[in-house]
Amino acid sequence: MFEQYVKDYNEAIIETDKEAAIAVVEEAISNGVTPEEVVFKIVMPAVEDMMQLVIDNLDTNLAQHFMTAQIAAEITEKMLAQFSAPPEIIGKAVIGSSFGDLHSLGKRIVMGCLKSMMVDVIDLGVNITAVDFVDAAVEHDAQVIAVSSMMMHTATGEEGSLQIRELLHERGLEKKIKLIVGGSPFRYDKELYTSVGADNWAPDGISAAKIICQLIHEVKAS
């Protein structure tokens, strides 16, 4: 029966059918599945499956990424309130769109996935200065700064990631806080992230969540 819930939930995600996904979870809960099992054995694996589809370059689209993240975030939030004990948070990330950039879809996908993966993610919003990114990361004790840029001038501009790198360097924070970038320009030039001083990059929101988790583990291990 449990395998059927997993299968039905995954199908709903692929079909971008939020109502069907929620119905599967409600049925599972009413039949005795615990909120912890919903998050860790249904929702999180579905996010990881989508990540694998993206990594394997199989046929997925932005709508599926968006819905995977959106549904995962909503269900996780609902289930967390019903957990028997608070879950272990694996780490923290601050996220925002770079200075001069008002695009917000990419970071919403990343945030949705991160929430279901037990990462505490702080949304700084859009058009964020480098100083605000670094100050927020320090204030929240975050291991990762994630910067979304949808235009070339905001991706490579001196007031964006380049300045964040400078600030991390000046304040001696480079081992404690990692910098990841994402957004359209980085998809066209896979080496572009190095020229803006980032530690890593992701071609889409789903992959970004996975890489952020890796960066958190790196910081914690060092």
Partner 1 sequence: MTPLEILVAALTGQAAPRIPVFCNFLDYGPGELNMTPKEYFSRGEYMAEGQLKLLKRYGHDNAWCMSYVGIEAEILGCQEILFPKKGAPNVKDFVIKSWDDIEKLTIPEDISQHPHWQTTADCLSILSQEIGTTNPICAYASSSNTLPILLMGMEKWMELVLMGPKDLREELMRKCSDFCQQQVKAFRKAGAHIILYATSFGTPYFISKKMIAEWAVPWMKNDLQGDAGGIVYYCGGAPMNEVVDTVMKEVGIGAYYISPLDDLAEAKKIINSNGLTCAAIDDIKMVHWTVEQTRAEVKRLIEIGKPGGHFLFGSSLMPLELPEENIVAMIEAAFKYGRQ
Query: Which residues of this protein are in contact with partner 1, per CB under 8 A?
Result: 16, 18, 59, 61-64, 66-67, 70, 100-105, 108, 127, 151-154, 156-157, 184-185, 187-189, 191-192, 195
CA atoms within 13 A on the CB side of 158: 0
Whole-angstrom CA distances from 127 to 7, 147, 148, 155 are 40, 10, 10, 12
CB 68, min distance to partner 1, A: 11
CB 10, min distance to partner 1, A: 16
Sequence-separated (6 or more) residues with CB below 8 Å from residue 22 = 71, 74, 75
CB 154, min distance to partner 1, A: 7
When the beta carbons of 185 and 197 are compared against partner 1, the nearer one is 185
Query: Is 37 within 8 Å of 79 (Cβ atoms)?
Result: no
Report the 3 state secondary structure along 87-108.
Answer: CCCCEEEEEEEECCCCCCHHHH
When the beta carbons of 90 and 151 are compared against partner 1, the nearer one is 151
When the beta carbons of 56 and 59 are compared against partner 1, the nearer one is 59
When the beta carbons of 21 and 215 are compared against partner 1, the nearer one is 21
